[in-house]
A and B are shown apart, each in its own frame.
Chain A
Amino acid sequence: MTITPNTTARTGPSALPEHPLRAALRKLWGDRGSRAALIAVALLVLVALTAPLLSRLGGWSPTAFDSSAIDPYLGGMPRGPLGGVSAEHWLGVEPATGRDLFARVVHGARVSLLIAFAATAIVVVAGTAAGIAAGYFGGRVDTVLSRLMDLTMSFPSLIFMIAVMSVAQDVNRVVLMTAVIGVFGWPGIARVVRGETLSLRHREYVEAARVAGSGSWRILTREILPNISGPVIAYTTLLIPGMISTEAALSFLGVGVRPPTSSWGQMIAEAVTYYETDPMYFLVPSTFLFVAVLAFTVLGDALRDILDPRGGRS
């Protein structure tokens, strides 16, 4: 058995610790599954961002009717095979209206991802703030915030969301949906953050900062927050698929975004009646929704394994 002395010296400057985010990305790229998920997520975000451009490239606006693509003698079924897939309509057309499916599904990505990201942002900011305050200050603050978490978790959230969405009129649907989804999501992440903060607040470096005269705000933002960022990032990614599903479910039930704005859930709801006669119409939005949820879940799982090996449970 030979002992090589001083190996660290030989590796030289590369022994410097890699930036954690860079290390995380490198590990993600190293695994086949998470690499595929990362690519899928990047593509979806790109599609959502460039939706107007893409639909112009396809030659159709998401709301334009095309009566030449449907057959009035067949009850408005799309002409041609596979639900009207052609050089003109890349993913076929909607029965009865002839609207271009590619343009609609691409614009649907915009709505779905916008709402999912915005709601996740609300949840993460509110949840982290509440969790860190409850964990760090303890006492009465903790009691009040924990009760509030319990209360929010006891709400029948889906039922409540549907009710609010359907009763509200004359408001921006996207904003309202984001807010409503966001309101019910924060306790989960708040619990994780609270647990992490509890385990950190009496660490030596926190005590040292306190002795050195740092105020609460400085300790929270400079000492605690950076050290819980791993679990928070992992948890954030894992929240997104749930948000996408919730948005789709609300739109499926007809209380989400209103036509003519398209969203995946709404397209699926309209396509359900055609699943036998025009399966392509049903499969296109379903596939996008499935891939989006799957990709974010796989990515979130991988990030959790990398950034928070203990699982972030408390």
Chain B
Amino acid sequence: MIAYLVRRCLGVAGVLFAICAVTFVIFYLLPADPAAAACGKTCSPERLAEVRHYMGLDQPVWRRFADYLVGIFAGRDLGTGPHALHCGFPCLGYSYENALPVWDLLMDRLPVSASLALGAACMWLVLGLGAGVTAALKKGGLLDRTLMVGAVATASLPVYFTAVVLIYALVRVGGLLPYPTYTPLTADPMGWAANLLLPWTALALLYAAMYARQSRSSMIEAMDQPFIRTARAKGMPGRVVVAKHGLRSAMMPVLTIFGMDLGALLAGAVITESVFGIPGVGRLFYDALQRSDQPVVLGVTLLAAFFIVVANVVIDLLYAVVDPRARS
């Protein structure tokens, strides 16, 4: 088990390194010139060269990449001369826009995105798995068909459409909920939930529909297995058969997808956050792009990759604990 863990951690490091390298090369080779942007419109060539040197843009790509990597683990000094800044561990550089450390910006926004993602995840798991398993157990019936037609229709609605309809129905006309503005959980738990209810619902509806479809088909497959027949034959009550044997094997494929989805959302649901104006990581990313703030863009991409990869490993570890065959 320890060897397995070590192997997985090395794999994670490799994947993150590769993602970091690809992102770095792409963003730093693309035409946008941050030095020109930082220097302003009336910038003499000498001054531009100075700014480029200060920002380290005159270095070759591999050199800048190496500095960046070292910075993440050991911190580094940015800039030269009297204006040098020390950037401590974990250094992801400074924002070109407001000269704040990227790491602090990310950590500032992370609770917002995490609130959105985790709350929505709870909602869609309950809704999606509930609908999917119910449909699977009543396979072919009216309830099954109704649920599945609803699921396929909901899954076809983009989240920005659902969001607008929800705002219109529940806020503008219904007046049931406040227009979403983020309130920290620690400051006001009720306000936190009330404000996030709308974004949660918009996001959760889409995912719930997808999970309902997925869990229905894997539940049907599971209930077809010989061990279910064996369990029934030995006289186990139907409810226990479903809960103990059916659900358990049906949830395996759903768990894999869940890990990926949650990982991707933790580092910002870009569309949902921009529609509702929630100040999360996705919003930070979107704003940074508008101003070609490359260190922030790179930071968010790395954070997102980190969450996806870690979620993957956690899911695999859960597998390995449950099922010894998965350890090889």
Question: Interface of A with B (CB < 8 Å)?
Answer: 150-151, 153-156, 158-160, 162-164, 166-170, 241, 245, 248-249, 252-253, 255, 265, 268-269, 272, 275-276, 282, 286, 289-290, 293-294, 297-298, 301, 311, 313
Please name all residues of chain B whose beta carbon is closer than 8 Å to the beta carbon of A163 when the two chains form the complex.
23, 27, 285, 289, 297, 301
Given A159-B270, A162-B289, A293-B156, CB of A154 within 8 Å of CB of B305: yes
In the assembled complex, the CB of B209 is this many whole angstroms from the nearest CB of chain A, namely 10
Please name all residues of chain A whose beta carbon is closer than 8 Å to the beta carbon of B318 when the two chains form the complex.
none
Please name all residues of chain B whose beta carbon is closer than 8 Å to the beta carbon of A290 when the two chains form the complex.
156-157, 161
B93 in contact (CB, < 8 A)? no
Residues of B254-268 at the interface with A, using a CB-CB cut-off of 8 Å, are 260, 264, 267-268
Which single member of B155, B271, B289 contacts A252 (CB below 8 Å)?
Answer: B271
Interface of A is mostly: helix
B31 in contact (CB, < 8 A)? yes
Nearest-CB residue, chain A, relative to B267 = A156
User: A154 touching B268 by the CB < 8 A rule?
Assistant: no
User: B19 touching A155 by the CB < 8 A rule?
Assistant: yes
Tally of contact residues, B, Cβ under 8 A: 45
Question: Interface of B with A (CB < 8 Å)?
Answer: 15, 18-19, 22-23, 26-27, 30-32, 152-153, 155-158, 160-161, 164, 168, 172, 217, 221, 253, 260, 264, 267-268, 270-271, 274-275, 285-286, 289-290, 292, 297, 300-301, 304-305, 308-309, 312
User: B289 touching A289 by the CB < 8 A rule?
Assistant: no
Nearest-CB residue, chain A, relative to B206 = A245
User: A249 touching B172 by the CB < 8 A rule?
Assistant: no
- Per the bound structure, the CA–CA distance linking A134 and B221 in Å amounts to 27
Nearest-CB residue, chain A, relative to B253 = A313
User: A294 touching B158 by the CB < 8 A rule?
Assistant: no
User: A159 touching B152 by the CB < 8 A rule?
Assistant: no
User: B270 touching A162 by the CB < 8 A rule?
Assistant: yes
In the assembled complex, the CB of B28 is this many whole angstroms from the nearest CB of chain A, namely 10
Pick the most buried of B15, B23, B156, B285: most chain A CB atoms within 10 A of its CB.
Answer: B156
Which single member of A159, A160, A311 contacts B217 (CB below 8 Å)?
Answer: A311
- Per the bound structure, the CA–CA distance linking A269 and B31 in Å amounts to 27
User: A248 touching B158 by the CB < 8 A rule?
Assistant: yes
